[in-house]
Amino acid sequence: MKKTFLSFLVVGGILLGFSNCQAKSENKNSGEKPAVSSVSEEGGSVKLTKAMFLEKVWDYEASPKEWKFKGDKPALIDFYADWCGPCKIAAPILEEIAKDYHGKVQVYKIDTQVERELAAVFGVSGIPAFLYIPMSGKPTMTSGIARTKEDTKKMFAQNIDKLLLANN
């Protein structure tokens, strides 16, 4: 009786796991777009899909060899993944940065597990990676975070001031 009950639990768990994975797969293939972070009056980051990236940042399909920034203010893009520990540390700091620089710099987020093509376009092989996009000139990629929250926030602020706002 115990073996039968245990077998039932194992088979049930496998079937439940399979149906959950199948539902996730169906949602991905249904054409639904991932949710976009809402941006409050005080600012905040915006999660980008490929379509949004092509519209708001750079249409690399139309001009693959020439960088043409489409934004109306400098931008910082965070390439991250939900499973990445350092990305989880950087996320709330970037939200603070987005609020601190609201109206001056747009902060975007790209989930590299969902938007693999966007990560590949920029050669992102390690995360977290941060793309600083000035209004004119080429973007600059950096990676990693500092040892402390304060140092990480200072690193973002220095890079924004130097790479994005110095010439604007």
Write down the pLDDT at residue 41: 52
| Nearest partner of 84 among 25, 29, 116, 126, judged by Cα | 126
Q: Say yes or no to pLDDT of 38 above 80.
A: no
Q: What is the token pair recorded at 120? A: 């590949």
- 2: confidence class by pLDDT, cuts 50, 70, 90: very low
- Using CA atoms, how far apart are residues 91 and 89, in angstroms rounded to an integer? 6
Q: Say yes or no to pLDDT of 160 above 90.
A: yes
pLDDT tens digits, 39-89: 445 679 999 999 999 999 999 999 999 999 999 999 999 999 999 999 999
Q: Tell the CATH topology of 46-165.
A: Glutaredoxin (3.40.30)
- Using CA atoms, how far apart are residues 129 and 120, in angstroms rounded to an integer? 12
- Using CA atoms, how far apart are residues 122 and 34, in angstroms rounded to an integer? 21
Q: The whole model's pTM is what?
A: 0.76
Q: What is the mean pLDDT of residues 122-133?
A: 97
Q: Which residues are catalytic?
A: 84, 87
pLDDT tens digits, 130-153: 999 999 999 999 999 999 999 999
- Using CA atoms, how far apart are residues 107 and 168, in angstroms rounded to an integer? 17
- The domain locations on the chain are 1-32, 46-165
Strands 140-143 and 106-111: unpaired
List beta partners, residue 132.
76, 140
Write down the pLDDT at residue 7: 37
Cite the DSSP H helix spans in the chain. Answer: 2-29, 50-56, 85-100, 116-121, 149-159
